[in-house]
Structure 1
Amino acid sequence: MEASTVTIWEMLAVFAAGIGAGTINTIVGSGTLITFPVLVATGLPPVTATVSNSLGLVFGSISGAIGYRAELAGQRRRVLRLSLAAACGGVAGAALLLTLPPDAFETIVPVLVALALVLVVLQPRIARAVQRRRERDGAPAHRDGGPLLFAAILLSSVYGGYFTAAQGIIYVALMGMLIDDTLQRINAVKNVLAAVVNSVAALFFVFAAELDWTAVALIAVGSTIGGQIGATWGRGLSPRVLRALIVAVGTVAVVQLLLLRFG
């Protein structure tokens, strides 16, 4: 998709995909499933499309996190702790992208996302069960999710640095089970973690991979706009509607991932 050969219609398509990805990433996740097929359709090789997409979406993730700044109030320690796990996992995932075969994660990814959707649906029931057990045992709740959540975020961020699609859904599922807080505040942390993973992966790619800077710029501007749109819409959703939206988008993501793998 070099600037000398790309058409204005392809540029508009990538820009529009960036807006859509930034919007849906901020509210739910899975925005990569909008931008990645568009980039491949313009002629980019899959790995170049992946790394260019990751760098472009950094700006959308930051924009979405800024849009959710009110929900981030009082979560500084939690964000810093989980961001460390996300950063380490993101670097590992970026390195894997450049060393493993292109289809290495294609089989496991739909399974991961489907499992995350089940956890999102069951999250209120699981949270109540965990709370009852804590009250019965007299064990204090881990404000930041404890070592289990740190390890889970680290592992899921390896996947995020590799491909990023639906990583937000996985984050919400994990935090929803292990942190006693509202879904909107968890969603705010999800946006920060996505920004961290995309940023560290992008820094890795800048020095180690081939990027298409036209695609990066178009997605960056589009996703920045989309991040603000997503924050405006998403912050007003009730927990039930937000959870339903996560499940709906995630189901579409699973179907699309399966089509990419077996289609």
Structure 2
Amino acid sequence: MPALNLLNVAGVFGAGIVAGTVNTIVGSGSLLTFPVLLGVGLSPLAANVTNTVGLVPGSVSGALGYRRELRGQRRRCLRLAVSSLIGGCVGAVLLLVLPSRSFERIVPFLVLMASLLVLVQPRLGRIVARRNSARGHDPQRTDPILDTTNGLTAVYGGYFGAAQGVILMALLGIFVPEDLQRLNAVKNVLAALVNGIAALLFAFFAPVAWWFALVEALGAVVGGQLGAVVGRRIPPRLLRAVIVIVGLVVAAKLFASW
């Protein structure tokens, strides 16, 4: 167990605040906290599972901060919750049983593709909306393709989850005809469910560094509230630009670590 000294605690707490803020607005906050946990002396597996456990309260905090935008989306969230919970559970199990490098080759491509989808999302969203309108589709029901891709994203989120939020925003923007801020609220709920079910499994079957998880969680809760305040004030076009830029930076960082 690494030393729980003041410097380590301050570093993890500060990283938790920043990650909680970034996760609520965009996603990919785990890329900030994961290296910090490695830096305090945790093994890669311990850092990964501790990171997931520590960020769960921040995800919940961010979802609560966006509760105003969640009004009228209960059915949508409940439908997507099923695939999120199943996928998050599968991803967590894969992390515990597969070699650590199993997903590393494909992850950068997933993040890059999601960033490009966010960029062209308005055009794709209009195409899907016209198709659904022609079929008399209930806007509160989820598209089967979205259910499937959300489940696959949840598998990835339970396994590692770097830029999980970017991928979710790309999918929601294409298949759900809603304002970007309301989609961001749904994204926060789904991310909280994925991280929560994965954290539950890690609590029983993985080497969680509980003191560091607690410190990170406290920072992430603060960051979740900050992210909700800041994110709500960002205009839709700027928010989309931020999501794309963060996604491209994350993809570049992941490609560089090959």
TM-score by length of 2: 0.97
Q: Residues 57 and 221 of structure 2 are in contact (CA less than 8 Å); yes or no, is this contact kept in structure 1?
A: yes
Q: 2:183 maps to what in 1?
A: 186
Q: In the TM superposition, what is the alpha-carbon distance from 1:17 to its structure 2 partner?
A: 0.5
- SS for the counterpart of 1:124 is helix
Helix, strand or coil at the partner of 1:70: helix
Alignment equivalent of 1:56, drawn from 54, 57, 62? 54
CA distance in 2, matches of 1:216, 1:60: 11
Q: Provide the alpha-carbon RMSD of the alignment.
A: 1.2
- Conserved 8 A contact 1:145-1:175: no
Structure 1: segments with no counterpart, 5+ residues: none
From 98, 110, 113, the counterpart of 1:100:
98
> How many pairs are equivalent?
258
Q: State whether residues 66 and 228 of structure 2, in contact with CA within 8 Å, keep that contact through their aligned partners in structure 1.
A: yes
AA partner of residue 192 (structure 1) = V
From 44, 48, 52, the equivalent of 2:42 is 44
Q: Distance in 2 between matches of 1:11 and 1:235?
A: 30
Q: Deviations over 1:116-150 (max 9, x none)?
A: 00110000011122233445x45435533321111
Partners of 2:21 and 2:224 within 8 A in 1: yes
1:138–1:91 distance in 2 versus 1, CA, 3 Å: closer
SS in 2 for 1:71: helix
**Fraction of identical pairs, as percent:** 52
- Report the CA distance between 1:165 and its aligned residue: 1.1
Work out whether residues 79 and 142 of structure 2, in 8 Å CA contact, stay in contact via their aligned partners in 1: no
- Per the normalisation by structure 1, the TM-score is 0.95
2:10 aligned to which of 6, 9, 12 = 12
Moved over 6 A (4+): none
Deviation at 1:14, TM superposition (A): 0.8
Q: How far apart in 2 are the matches of 1:37 and 1:240? A: 31
- Farther-moved stretch of structure 1 (125-134 vs 15-24): 125-134
CA distance in 1, matches of 2:129, 2:7: 53
